[in-house]
Structure 1
Amino acid sequence: MSVLQKLMDVLPLSEEQRRFQRVRVNLLGRYMLADRREFPCQVVDMSPGGMGLVAPVSGKVGERVVAYIDHLGRLEGAIVRVFPNGFAMSISATQRKRDKLAAQLTWLANRHILGLPEDRRHDRIVPRNPRTTMVLPDGSAVTCRIIDMSLSGAAVKAEGANPPVGTLITLGKIQGRIVRHLEEGFAVEFTRLQHPDFLEDNVTGP
């Protein structure tokens, strides 16, 4: 079954009355609540009719939300469900807009930019020396361990530190941002693709 067919199938979830089956994604963005406060977010599942966001602050059910999502642009809707680390929202759009959104989601999947663990864009390696330092936006330095890494990012575990999704950090000598939380630690996407000859030195170097 194609991604588009999955998107368009009816999903019998009466509690949310979803008209589309959601698919897993990994897209970054920002959202604005009704009081005009803005926060970073990560879209973790999505359909042309709604999406689930990992977010630092949740509004109330029924509250209007405006989101700006990487690759998809501006999306408006209302909060339909709140959970401990985010919320689910509907997407208010015409049928034409929904069709376009379905096509965009399919294109993204085909372009391999959703960042799913089973569809990583670059081979992962474990550094010989996994210890390094992460510098947070406030200038504080945290000792951490590299679980694995690639030319485009790394999985990191830091005792006592779990920065929010969207946080800009420096890992070793490389700038990046937190793109998702893992069972043990978090994933960092590098700002720039790294050269394979210098990857390990840049990640684990001071």
Structure 2
Amino acid sequence: MITVAAHTAPLASRAMLASDSRRHQRVSVALLGRYMLSDRREFPCQTVDMSPGGVRLTCAVLGELGERVVLYLEQIGRIEGAIVRLMPTGFAVQLNATPRKRDKIASQLTWLANRDSLGLPEGRSYERLVPVQAGIGLRFEGGRTAFARIIDFSMSGAAIASGARPEIGAAITVGSTPARVVRYFEGGFGVQFLLPISADRFHDGLVL
């Protein structure tokens, strides 16, 4: 079993990657999310690997070295830090977190690292909300439409109560948000959004 030890000592901002590899065990994990640069522009991203002290992201828009970044990651939640390395496909962030938050990240990463090897079920998102207005229109492949109810949602997907049963993998538009069907449950199905929704829409109660 893999364990990830949290370390509470401060890291030198320009030496995060070297010191992070010594102090923390980095976990290869692909988590969808969004990041906000200092000018408040938001973009989707995906993690490459992560430790309690830092995270490496794949993304389309690069920030500047030293720039503050706010991240919203599935399974992890809201974290922030500074860009310490730029790469052709993204950048690395040194996290600015309290010892308690780092301990929590370490526990989450340990669970993620061992989930597959232990045969654990796919976890639900770290943070899921119940929408203010649950009614939603669905548009299926071929143009058919239906009305349904959102049970709850995260930045990357939603659980939908509906009598319809589209095929797994089928394209579907939930409100105005493109998605695909990923699972069934009694009384409905789950979808994954093609891109994670923005943090503002997520925390404001979601209007898909």
TM-score (norm. length: structure 1): 0.52
Residues 161-187 of structure 1 deviation map (CA, whole Å, 9 limit, x = unaligned)? xxxxx9xxxxx97128xxxxxxxxxxx
Residues 128-147 of structure 1 deviation map (CA, whole Å, 9 limit, x = unaligned)? xxxxxxxxxxxxxxxxxxxx
Deviation for aligned residue 1:192: 2.0
Query: Percent of counterpart pairs with the same letter?
Result: 53
Alignment of 1:43-122 (within 5 A): 43-112=47-116
Alignment of 1:150-169 (within 5 A): none
* 8 A contact 2:27–2:113 mirrored in 1: no
RMSD over equivalenced CA pairs, Å? 3.3
Deviation for aligned residue 1:110: 3.4
Give the residue type in structure 1 aligned to 2:59: A
Deviation for aligned residue 1:47: 0.2
Alignment of 1:7-18 (within 5 A): 7=5, 16=17, 17-18=19-20
Deviation for aligned residue 1:74: 0.1
- 5+ residue gaps, structure 1: 114-118, 122-165, 167-171, 177-188, 195-206
Q: What residue number does 2:125 align with? A: none
Q: What residue number does 2:37 align with? A: 33
CA distance in 2, matches of 1:95, 1:59: 26
2:82 alignment partner, SS class: strand
Q: With CA pairs under 8 Å and 6+ residues apart, which has the higher RCO, 1 or 2? A: 2
* 8 A contact 2:169–2:180 mirrored in 1: no
1:3 alignment partner, SS class: coil
- The counterpart of 1:175, out of the listed 157, 165, 171, is 171
2:105 alignment partner, SS class: helix
- 5+ residue gaps, structure 2: 8-14, 123-155, 157-167, 173-178, 185-208
2:34 alignment partner, SS class: strand
Q: What residue number does 1:4 align with? A: 3
Deviation for aligned residue 1:31: 0.4
